[in-house]
Structure 1
Amino acid sequence: MGGIENEETLCQGCGVNIQTTDKTQPGFVPASALKNDIIICQRCFRLKHYNEVHDVPYTDADFLEMIGRISQTKGLILKIVDVFDFNGSFIKSLHRLTGNNPILLVANKVDLLPKSTNINKLKHWMKKSAADLGLVVQDVYLVSANSGRGFDEVKKAIEAYRKGQDVYVVGATNVGKSTFINRLIDETSGTKDAITTSYFPGTTLGFIEIPLDDKTALYDTPGVINRGQITHYLSNEDIKQITPNKEIKPRVYQLQPGQTLYIGGLARFDFVKGEKQSFVCYFANSIEIHRTKLENAESLYEKHLGGLLTPPNEASLDQFPALQEKSFKISGNKTDIVFPGLGWITLSGESVTISASSPYEVPVSKRDALI
């Protein structure tokens, strides 16, 4: 990597090797900081002075090796997921890495859900889905790291479940883990057991240790890259467009069989067979939805992807995967067709055949309707 980087020069906040050449990589400090008696990396500096926690890039293997060390300790695991991207933000191997430690599932961005969302139903679905993926959680909490909604409840749960032990916060990239920790720091500062921004030297590579009291700490861990997140195939401009920044407003489409909806150019929904009926779309308000005839859908996509059908914009087109189709026959119950990282379309429960297309690595799924 060049510059200053050796095992003798370690960050006294998180233990990472200090280097002076690449701001985007772990351990960066300006060269002028090397004359200080105590050297801490830029990430730790911003935590200490500004209460800001920033993820740093690690490989999947780095992350899993680090998280695996938690299994040899005793503590509480807080697993942060994105309420709009449960599958994409779920670390599927986590149950093999955390030993017998209790796990609380914390879903972020709840303030962006439509007010009509059945919260209890959502929590039940998340708990069951986690179990189906091999992870038994003690409970599920819905929060907004931006607004603070749900934080009183989750703070009480942390104290109740940790039983005087350490707390480890884990999550995939882009789930708001850093914002969650920042909110937790802000809301507890000044209390008897304040989460402060002081550190202990020699902590494990990639973890930041934030004392909870004299004996225990909260550990921030690096965000893991999950290849099932659609954001990995998009530019920053596209990510901003697909990420809701206020409550989602449902959009209702009356469709005849043989009609198609495009969610920007990122996903496709085909009404193949059934009676004319309503389909309710829940996506970021900034994403355009286009309706066309099924027979014209392919040519529309080929001609207008990156133009009329955006996102993805031109900066993302080269890395954006081809769409893969999946068919569903639905009858009897209201059902959500979920497009990971984007949102979902609710079907009324009338008998229909539909097909849904999304990038290969980001497969569409179905669930009982949450609204």
Structure 2
Amino acid sequence: MSETLRCIGCGSVIQTDAPGEIGYTPKSALEKGLAAGEVYCQRCFRLRHYNDIQDISLTDDDFLRLLNSIGETEALIVNVVDIFDFNGSLIPGLHRFVGANPVLLVGNKVDILPKSLKRSKLIHWMKEQAREAGLKPVDVCLTSAKRKHEMAELLEVIESHRDGRDVIVVGVTNVGKSTLINSIIDTVSGVRDVITTSQFPGTTLDKIEIPLEDGHYLIDTPGIIHRHQMAHYLGKKDMRIIAPTKEIKPKVYQLHSGQTLFLGGLARFDYLRGEKSSFVAYVSNDVSIHRTKLANADAFYDKHVGGLLQPPREAERESFPELVRFEFSIKEKTDIVFAGLGWITVTEPGIVAGWAPKGVTVVRRRALI
């Protein structure tokens, strides 16, 4: 295959080795495309024929190039984050790249949080967390890409802030950005009948431009890899286990000091010192939690990881990173957050430790719920 063979939809160099990366197309599709004289990457093909935008991954160089281009274009920046993994889905340093452009922060997957959590409190919390990360959004809104009525509300908010500018949608991988974009396309197509597959112009390498009625564009960008997310170390089957698809059910544990909770084989929570108290785990309903004595925890993990403690699976046990320990002194109600997996709420003062695969962050924050 010629190195200069490019997708006629977006201009990316065609490659058949790395699904999920820029320019990928299956070999069988490439052969058909060459025979027809029209070679598209898989992403552009699915967009043209199914109105389906697929996320793709960026290299670190692509990441920097994309961020630098954001500040050079006058636009409203729509930063999509996963509410369930808020800390893990913020784009590192985004505030340094947006220039004078306003940022609208969109919290996706609101439907998986307990209904007892009021939206007003969640929005206030998101604003605080964003400011701590150096980001000053002009507005914060909540949505679920699966609910069409919420797309109409999101479009109204976007319209109120864009002031006749383009709209650039950014987000790390696994925040549901592509589902959100596809839902917007379906919403607009169904209501106004203004967007069809033939109206999507190909652009360069990594962006897809969706025309708006006033001649400006809604610009989709590839998902940015956040290397401190749990998802970076898991395959698709395990991602289905740890990524909630419906409202999570909090799991309450009464722990004495010297007890440990394992979140599958992916993470570990130690209660080191304090009075007997309640701890609440907020993880996917499919993640199994096992309690054991702290004194036996290391041996228990070594014996059962890949078996009783899954994920990871037995076949992935050897390649899975070792767990690294983070210790915290807790003085008030606090969440211990395992990036990309969930969190455990500590309700009383004490000393705790969180363990996660090497490279995945464990942080504390003021309790969300």
TM-score by length of 2: 0.91
Tell me the residue number matched to 2:145.
145
Whole-angstrom CA distance in 2 between matches of 1:293 and 1:237: 30
Conserved? CA contact 2:94–2:135, under 8 Å: yes
Which has a greater percent of helix? 2
Tell me the residue number matched to 1:14.
10
Post-superposition CA distance 1:221-255 (Å, at most 9, x none): 11111101111111222111111121111111111
Whole-angstrom CA distance in 2 between matches of 1:359 and 1:123: 30
Whole-angstrom CA distance in 2 between matches of 1:22 and 1:324: 30
Alpha-carbon offset, residue 337 of structure 1: 1.6
Whole-angstrom CA distance in 2 between matches of 1:211 and 1:185: 10
Structure 1 gaps of 5+ residues are none
Q: Which amino acid aligns with 1:364?
A: V
Tell me the residue number matched to 1:58.
58
Is 39-48 or 84-93 further displaced after alignment?
39-48
Conserved? CA contact 1:64–1:97, under 8 Å: no
Alpha-carbon offset, residue 258 of structure 1: 1.1
Pick closer, same or farther for the CA change 1:199–1:97 going to 2, 3 Å. Answer: farther
Post-superposition CA distance 1:303-355 (Å, at most 9, x none): 11111111111243233222222222223x3222211111111222x322211
Is 22-31 or 104-113 further displaced after alignment?
22-31
Tell me the residue number matched to 1:335.
334
Q: Secondary structure of the equivalent of 2:88?
A: coil
Tell me the residue number matched to 1:302.
302
Tell me the residue number matched to 1:114.
114
Whole-angstrom CA distance in 1 between matches of 2:58 and 2:349: 46
Pick closer, same or farther for the CA change 1:191–1:353 going to 2, 3 Å. Answer: same
Conserved? CA contact 1:67–1:97, under 8 Å: yes
Equivalent residues, number:
365
Whole-angstrom CA distance in 1 between matches of 2:119 and 2:191: 30
Structure 2 gaps of 5+ residues are none
Alpha-carbon offset, residue 356 of structure 1: 1.5
Post-superposition CA distance 1:1-20 (Å, at most 9, x none): xx1442xx543432323457
Conserved? CA contact 2:168–2:221, under 8 Å: yes
CA RMSD of aligned residues (A): 2.2
Q: Secondary structure of the equivalent of 1:219?
A: strand
Pick closer, same or farther for the CA change 1:148–1:329 going to 2, 3 Å. Answer: farther
TM-score by length of 1: 0.91
Whole-angstrom CA distance in 1 between matches of 2:150 and 2:46: 26
Whole-angstrom CA distance in 1 between matches of 2:350 and 2:308: 29
Alpha-carbon offset, residue 35 of structure 1: 5.3
Tell me the residue number matched to 1:364.
362
Conserved? CA contact 1:84–1:340, under 8 Å: no
Whole-angstrom CA distance in 2 between matches of 1:148 and 1:12: 32
Equivalences for residues 318-357 of structure 1 within 5 A: 318-331=318-331, 333-348=332-347, 350-357=348-355
Tell me the residue number matched to 1:130.
130
Post-superposition CA distance 1:181-216 (Å, at most 9, x none): 000000111444834433465622211111112511
Post-superposition CA distance 1:85-137 (Å, at most 9, x none): 22222111222322211111112111111112243232222222222222221
Alpha-carbon offset, residue 76 of structure 1: 0.9
Q: Which amino acid aligns with 1:96?
A: R
